[in-house]
Structure 1
Amino acid sequence: MKRFTLPRTGIAAAASVLSLALATGCSDSGSDSGDGDKATGGKESTAAAKVLSSSELEKAIVATGDVDGFEVTSATDSEPFASSKEKVKVVDEKCAPIAYVLTGFAPGDSEAAYLNRQVTPATEEIAPSATSSDSLEDSLDSITDALNSTMTIVSLSSYEGDGAQETLASVSEAVEGCASGFTVAAGSETQKFTKVASEKASGSGDESVAFAVTGDAEGDEVVVKGEVVRHGSTVATYYSINLAAFSGEAGAGTADYDVPAEIIEAQAAKLS
């Protein structure tokens, strides 16, 4: 599979899902862009008056059973790109909020609490009958489904005062100001992104901004998708990778997809 150096957690997840596909089937994640565009305002949520603690974020973040057809697991099992946000170095500082999203950290600079989860399409076992042509066809279909599925990192961060609003503003400014890309480094690891483009946001929460980032995976382009949504003083971040990017097929990394709408909707429901 191709190596995309920045999101180590995403790479491990991709390898895991693809290997599981040899014996299991994956349901289609589906996707649907919402009605928002860039940073979109909305009705202030009931979360606005309260800054959530780490334990409260644990209860508020999506879990298995909250999103039909998806499994939710820890997002911290693999070696991270950087051990802390302070270790993430971005040549152009205004692009840092996007770099933080793509390295698994909160997009703001003053979060009071933060945690994340990995959301992948739920797997379904195929009846073991290796000599059956139907079983072989099911196995091939499951591999295709896995390659067409999307892995998403969901994170929640809470902020005091105007921190959440300032975070959304900084992400929106980064999307506008980093169109030609940026380079991020941590120690000896570097990753160059060549393009940042605004996407149609879901319109969830009080305001939201969505974007697509084009990066390099061993000479081939890979497009990853992100969305950041403010719910009062809490910021939800979604970062999705389509697993087709690691199939080795020409052009697979630029396949069109979105952050799965059902994940955003499920997380919004838990924060309402």
Structure 2
Amino acid sequence: MGRNIATGRLALAASAACLALLATSCGEGGSDDAKAGNGKAGNGTAKEPGESSGPTPGPADDAPAPPSGTDLKGMLVKAEDVPDFLAPPGGSKETEVIFSGDARTFFSSDKPACQVLSGSMLATPQGTPRATAGTVGVRGMGQQKPEEAEGPQDGLDKAFDAMADMRMEVVSLSSYEGDGARSVIDGYKDAVRRCGAGFTIDATAEGKKALESVQSGGSGSGGQQDGPMPVVSLEAIAVDKGDDAAAWVLKVGEDGITLPINVVAVRKGPVVATVSSTSFNFSGNGKPPLDVAQAQLDKLTGVS
């Protein structure tokens, strides 16, 4: 009878996300245009996208200021930096807000210890960033070969099969004052250690809008996220990159369908680069985006 696709709204929403991104990706290489978000300085003052102002170093503090939003935007990984990475055009206010400092409040967990992992799907910045930037892309298109379908159900099955090697990858950069970047990585490590038994992710209205925006490639017409997302398992991934790093794979499960989300967060000086890879292989397998994380590290020129 073919696979049961009536269950698991999350799986269907993820499928819509991939297809929508495909529709907006072709030939654009648009990660250049991803908007820097509204970071927040250490004193809590909101910053405009790309604004580089912040606490002025005193006479005894000659360390360079953390990168501004404009700096981070210029260092974002691009389509040509990673094989088969297609990034849709940026520029919409809806996608810009995903990488803002306030995005850390868009998602919540039923377990406080797991809160910092609740934004894994969109790699939302954590802590109190001075500035942020980000982009979204799709990988795996090069392996797709259209097949002729025999009837609606066969066509649906083939569509799911064609997506098995595809994944949506979100890249965010966030810069911090003082020990902020180090604290973010430490927080991730602690949460991964404590949340292996699973937890539940829920989204605020802003979080739902952010998910919809990614699913629609920035057009704001993605599928509605109308309920909590249960994380059935969480495992740490060994990673040795940058000055420090944390990585994990969490599996969101519903009605027998599991959707793996692999995340790598690496620190270079005051900057944290986070890469989230959502696989559309509903068997529950996925690939940690280590190559994208390394490519992003290589782009952080002048950061120490």
TM-score, normalised via structure 1 length: 0.69
Identify unmatched segments of 5+ residues in structure 2. 27-62, 149-157, 205-225
Separation in structure 2 between the aligned mates of residue 6 and residue 103 of structure 1, nearest angstrom: 16
Separation in structure 1 between the aligned mates of residue 131 and residue 97 of structure 2, nearest angstrom: 21
Is 2:31 the partner of 1:16?
A: no
Q: Residue 95 of structure 1 aligns with which residue? A: 114
Deviation at 1:59, TM superposition (A): 0.3
Question: CA RMSD, aligned part only?
Answer: 3.8
Deviation at 1:269, TM superposition (A): 0.8
CA offsets per residue over residues 146-175 of structure 1, 9 Å max, x none? 421222111111111000000000000000
Q: Residue 136 of structure 1 aligns with which residue? A: none
Separation in structure 2 between the aligned mates of residue 164 and residue 230 of structure 1, nearest angstrom: 7
Q: 1:7 to 1:65 in 2, by over 3 A?
A: farther
Q: Residue 135 of structure 1 aligns with which residue? A: none
**5 Å matches for 1:22-41?**
none
> What is the identity, as a one-letter code, of the residue corresponding to 1:62?
V
Check conservation: 1:18, 1:143, Cα contact below 8 A.
no
Deviation at 1:208, TM superposition (A): 0.8
| Percentage of identical aligned residues | 22
- Aligned with 1:155 (options 172, 176, 188): 172
CA offsets per residue over residues 181-221 of structure 1, 9 Å max, x none? 111222463111122111122x2211111111121144322
Separation in structure 2 between the aligned mates of residue 58 and residue 88 of structure 1, nearest angstrom: 24
Is 2:266 the partner of 1:229?
A: yes
Separation in structure 1 between the aligned mates of residue 111 and residue 169 of structure 2, nearest angstrom: 26
Separation in structure 2 between the aligned mates of residue 147 and residue 114 of structure 1, nearest angstrom: 31
Q: Residue 114 of structure 1 aligns with which residue? A: 132
Is 2:66 the partner of 1:51?
A: yes
Check conservation: 1:3, 1:11, Cα contact below 8 A.
no
Check conservation: 2:252, 2:259, Cα contact below 8 A.
yes
Q: Which has the higher contact order (CA 8 A, sep 6+)?
A: 1
| Secondary structure of 1:111's aligned partner | coil
CA offsets per residue over residues 205-244 of structure 1, 9 Å max, x none? 1111111112114432222211111111000111111222
Deviation at 1:68, TM superposition (A): 2.6
| Matched length | 224
Q: Residue 245 of structure 2 aligns with which residue? A: 208
Deviation at 1:99, TM superposition (A): 0.8
> What is the identity, as a one-letter code, of the residue corresponding to 2:174?
S
Separation in structure 1 between the aligned mates of residue 96 and residue 161 of structure 2, nearest angstrom: 25
Separation in structure 2 between the aligned mates of residue 147 and residue 113 of structure 1, nearest angstrom: 35
